[in-house]
Amino acid sequence: MWLFHDAKYAFIAMRRKAYVVSAAALALGIGAMMFNIFTIGRWQQYGVDFDGGVLVQVSFSQPLDDSDLRAALGGASAPPITRFGGDNEFVIRAPLEEERDIDEVAGDVEVQLAASFGESSFEVVRQESVGPKIGRELEQRAALAILFSLALTLIYIAIRFEVRFGLAAVIATAHDMLIVLGLLALFRVEIALPTVAAILTILGYSLNDTIVVFDRIRENLNAKGGRREDPYRLVNRSINETLPRTVLTSGTTLAVLFSLLALGGAVIRDFTIVLILGVMIGTYSSIFIASPALLEIQKRFGTGDARKKQQGRRVAAAV
């Protein structure tokens, strides 16, 4: 991109301001999680997939728009609705309230549909109950999936680059995930399985963006005179060299996501919002968190070059 041709922005010099912004965002998110614990008893606003509820599959005699179905079930307060198969079949996930069984909740859904469309216009194909125990298992598995992805990130980058690069990438990825979860808690976005899928997608996107920057840092390090260049200047130069790619990739991705947010409807709204937040935060962290974290790790623990040279001298002496 010509706007960023031969860019020389002082990103590393602004790292302390970025630390303040990240610390404020993390504190706000943690505060929102604590507030949710005291007000709703959970650190996040969980959906039917995690809290349990009733799944009702409905088949209509004629094609139906999902916005009309949502309006019939309460509009903005309607339970999650997913199109299932053709234009006339839907799955409704209604929360299972205390002292009410599956038949009562499913019966309320049928009454609302009959009042809006007529009793003969639809048929209940099936109804199932999702208990809170299954929800807790899903919550644990989702947490394990995220932790497992972080561990694989560390191993992969440590093998492809060096351990210090892997640690910096994990710090940046954990930073992105915590801020996104904090914002979800702040705005009480309902956490469902699609939301978890969006969070895992964010981790992959953030990691990819970070690897691009790290790859350029490694190239510049291995270039002639790279090891003698000031590390802060080299890292800052590497970020500027990858800036056109970063802005172009993030910009086109956000353009698609905002189009989905505007035209995709309420079904994928939360999923799209999480992805938008993740792309923006992931782009920010690859510049202001991952690269400065790499420098901080190098400053405290070194690059490992001295240890390699010492081992080489020992091998030479033994020979």
298 shares a domain with 187: yes
Higher pLDDT, 106 or 10: 10
139 shares a domain with 125: no
Comparing 172-176, 181-185, 221-225, 236-240, which segment has the lowest mean pLDDT?
Answer: 221-225
Place of tokens 């039917």: 48
Q: What is the CA radius of gyration of the chain?
A: 25
228 inside domain = yes
229 shares a domain with 168: yes
190 shares a domain with 304: yes
Instruction: Tell me the β-bridge partners of 126.
Output: 57
Return the exposure string of 257-276: e unless at least 16 CB atoms fall within 10 Å of the residue's CB, then b.
beebbeeebebeebbbbbbb
Rounded to an integer, what distance in angstroms lies between the CA atom of residue 23 and that of residue 179?
Answer: 10
68 shares a domain with 145: no
- Of the candidates 89, 112, 130, which is a domain's last residue? 130
- Of the candidates 96, 130, 164, which is a domain's last residue? 130
Per-residue pLDDT at 247: 87
Average pLDDT over residues 135-163: 78
23 shares a domain with 62: no
4 inside domain = no
86 inside domain = yes
Mean pLDDT rounded to a whole number for the chain: 82
318 inside domain = no
48 inside domain = no
126 shares a domain with 80: yes
pTM, entire model: 0.76
Per-residue pLDDT at 131: 65
CATH of the domain at 78: 3.30.70
6 inside domain = no
- Of the candidates 130, 161, 187, which is a domain's last residue? 130
28: closest CA among 201, 180, 248?
Answer: 180
What is the percent of the chain with per-residue pLDDT over 90, rounded to a whole number? 24
291 shares a domain with 150: yes
45 inside domain = no
**pLDDT tens, position by position, 174-199:** 899 899 999 999 988 878 778 888 88
Rounded to an integer, what distance in angstroms lies between the CA atom of residue 213 and that of residue 197?
Answer: 25
66 shares a domain with 175: no
**pLDDT tens, position by position, 60-95:** 888 888 888 888 888 777 787 877 767 788 888 887
283 shares a domain with 268: yes
Per-residue pLDDT at 175: 92
Q: Give the chain's domain count.
A: 2
Comparing 9-13, 145-149, 263-267, which segment has the lowest mean pLDDT?
Answer: 263-267
143 shares a domain with 123: no
CA distances from 51 to 42, 127, 133, 250, 252 (A): 10, 17, 8, 34, 36
226 inside domain = yes
Range of the domain at 196: 12-40+135-310
252 shares a domain with 208: yes
CATH of the domain at 246: 1.20.1640.10
Centroid of chain to Cα 197? 8
